Homo-oligomer: A and B are copies of this chain.
Amino acid sequence: MGRIKTENNSSRKEIILKKSAELFKEKGYKAASMRELAEIVGVEAASLYNHIRSKSELLHLICFNVATHYSAFMDEVEAEKNNSLYKIEKLIRFLIDGMVENFEEVYVCDREWKYLTEPYLSNFQSQRRTFRKRFASIIEEGIRKKEIKKIDATTAVLVILHAISGIESWHRSKQKFDGKELQENMITILVGGLKK
Contacts and interface: CB of A to CB of B under 8 A. Distances in A.
Contacts of A165: 162, 166
| Oligomer copy total | 2
Interface residues of A, number: 33
B155 A185 contact: yes
Interface string A161-192: 11101110110000000000110011011111
Given A111-B111, A158-B163, A158-B167, 19 more contacts: A30-B31, A151-B185, A151-B188, A152-B181, A152-B182, A155-B182, A155-B185, A155-B189, A158-B169, A159-B163, A159-B186, A159-B189, A161-B166, A163-B163, A189-B194, A191-B193, A192-B192, A192-B194, A193-B193
